[in-house]
Amino acid sequence: MIWILSFILFVLLLLVGRERGFKTFVTFYLSIILIILYIIIMSFKANAIIVALIICILSTLICLFVLNGNNIKTKSSFISIMIVLLFIFPLIYFIGKYANIQGFSMESIDSIGYYSFDINYNYTNVIIGMFLVCIIGTVIDTSISISSAMNEVLINNPKIDKNELFKSGMTIGEDILGTTINTLFFALISTFIGFFMWHKDTSLEILFNYKAFTFDLIQLLISFIGSILIVPITSFISSRMMKK
């Protein structure tokens, strides 16, 4: 079934996106390969945080430069994404260290009951690495959308100054931001409908102490923060680089 769906996806991307659709398909599976490599490398007891940062950089390079080419749009987006990662890393590290959400939830006991619990690995670092990887897709999409739109504004109005270009980027980002946050929110809620039905009579105090729920909620909020930060940073970096 997975192969059938993958084939349908490939055909539709070719029909609708043509060359860009083919590149999208390739970058999608390259991203999957990167995640598999991430898991394999961690099995050799490598530091999950360092590996996650490397995966984030490689994934950003692939998604930006393979899909959109080597130009001012992709360069400004790449720099902006790296700055967001730099800003948000201390927050992610603090949450991963002190939120006490490492390990498996009670809902996973049946599926892992026959496995050894002596994995000899720092699972807190795994959580931090997962948070880093989870925000990349969101900030990449938002950043390249803003920088591409700003580039079109500059092409149509070459005499625009950098401050006006920055304001245009912020306006574009405001429009994108609302859609992005709603998309992320419904993506989380759709995976937790069954969970909410199961715990419909559970108080909020107990609900917020379930690891399965708290982990995804924190992941969602981190993605929100990353999506918000990328807007002014991309607008500023792009306006300066495009007008330089």
Q: Is residue 40 part of a domain?
A: no
What CATH number corresponds to the domain at position 130? 1.20.1640
Mean pLDDT of 180-196: 73
Cα(87)–Cα(131) distance, integer angstroms: 14
What's the pTM value of the predicted model, to 2 decimals? 0.82
Q: Is residue 234 part of a domain?
A: yes
Overall number of domains in the chain? 1
Helices and strands: H and E segment counts in the chain: 10, 0
Domain extent at residue 92: 47-104+121-243
Q: Is residue 25 part of a domain?
A: no
Q: Is residue 194 part of a domain?
A: yes
Q: Is residue 21 part of a domain?
A: no
Q: Is residue 36 part of a domain?
A: no
Task: Give per-residue pLDDT as tens, 101-145.
Answer: 665 555 555 555 555 555 666 777 778 888 888 888 788 888 888
CB 148 within 8 A of CB 237: no
User: In b/e form, how buried is each residue of 43-78, taking b as 16+ CB within 10 angstroms?
Assistant: eeeeebbebbbebbeebbebbbbeebeeeebbbbbb
CB 49 within 8 A of CB 125: yes
Cα(180)–Cα(143) distance, integer angstroms: 12
Q: Is residue 1 part of a domain?
A: no
Task: Give per-residue pLDDT as tens, 40-84.
Answer: 887 777 788 888 888 889 888 888 888 777 888 889 999 999 999
Tell me the residue type at 68: N
CB 13 within 8 A of CB 24: yes
Q: Is residue 37 part of a domain?
A: no
